[in-house]
Amino acid sequence: MDGIKRERSLRELCLQIADSSIAMWNEFFGFLGFSHQLLRSTSQSLRHPRQLKWRSVCYYMDSCGSDAMPIIALLGFLIGVILAFQAIVQLSRFGVDNFVVNLVGTVIVTELAPLVTAVVLAGRTGSSFASELGLMKSREELDAMVTLGLDVGRFELVPKLIALIFVMPGLTIISDVCGIVGGMFIVCSMLNTSIAEYLSKTFEVIQPVDLAQGIVKSMLFAVIVAAVGCWKGVSAERDAQGVGKATTGAVVTSIFLIVVTDAAMTALFSFVS
């Protein structure tokens, strides 16, 4: 009996692994197909900008940008505080606490600010896109648009993508500034450094390529968040549970792709520089 149970459990484990692998491949190819559709709709909208719903773009820029500014600024400030405090504690052991400003400025601008901003918008904006489109699909509004001959990509998908591409770099810069201010608050209070000295050293350390790296990352993260959120919403099942699963899947998939892309971009910039 024990042998039969072990054989059955092993078989169930293999079946679960196989089902998960097939589901991952299906999602991958589904995302590729959706990306091709989104790219085609975006290129058509850019060739004919007057046909794009700029009012929708402005609406999503307002909802994704201005409403997210307080939480982005607060998180950026707190990350700067935590990073500066930990850097002082660790670097003081080796007597090189004068490099705290270098560490805080470079890490925030190149890594933490774009990453934290993208993760916040993945949980806030990506889930909103998925739930909105999933609800429209469950109410058959998307089918009605197709029946009327309207391009769903041009009316519903492209405005979200363009709005997030416009908004994400600005939010990243706000996070940069707040993170540097948070680091300044700790460094100036614990190391007896003046504000002018801190700022001059920060501007000396942060190079244009570092700022460009953060901006490029933020734009790629914006594409990921918007594309995954719209894809999960369009492919959601036509019920309340389907909308909930699409919302959760949009957040999880976006964060995973953001981390993978961040690692690849960091390696690429390190190799180039």
Question: Are the C-beta atoms of residues 227 and 130 closer than 8 Å to each other?
Answer: no
CA distance 100 to 240: 50
pLDDT at residue 140 is higher than 90: no
Query: Per-residue confidence at 7, pLDDT binned at 50, 70, 90?
Result: low
pLDDT at residue 51 is higher than 80: no
> What token pair was written down for 53?
């719903």
Question: Are the C-beta atoms of residues 100 and 198 closer than 8 Å to each other?
Answer: no
Among candidate residues 168, 208, 4, 201, the one with its CA nearest the CA of residue 84 = 201
Mean pLDDT of 94-111: 84
What pLDDT is stored for residue 273 in this prediction? 63
pLDDT digits (tens, 9 = 90+) for 177-187: 999 999 999 88
Mean pLDDT of 74-88: 91
pLDDT at residue 6 is higher than 70: no
CA distance 159 to 153: 9
CA distance 57 to 61: 6
CA distance 175 to 111: 11
Q: Indicate the range of 8-22, 134-148, 200-214 predicted with least confidence.
A: 8-22
Q: Indicate the pTM of the whole model.
A: 0.87
What pLDDT is stored for residue 195 in this prediction? 86
Cα dist from 143 to 9, 128, 150, whole Å = 44, 20, 10
pLDDT at residue 19 is higher than 80: no
The better pLDDT of the pair 146, 185 is held by 185
The helix (H) or strand (E) run that includes residue 111 is none
Q: How far apart are the first and last CA of the chain?
A: 63
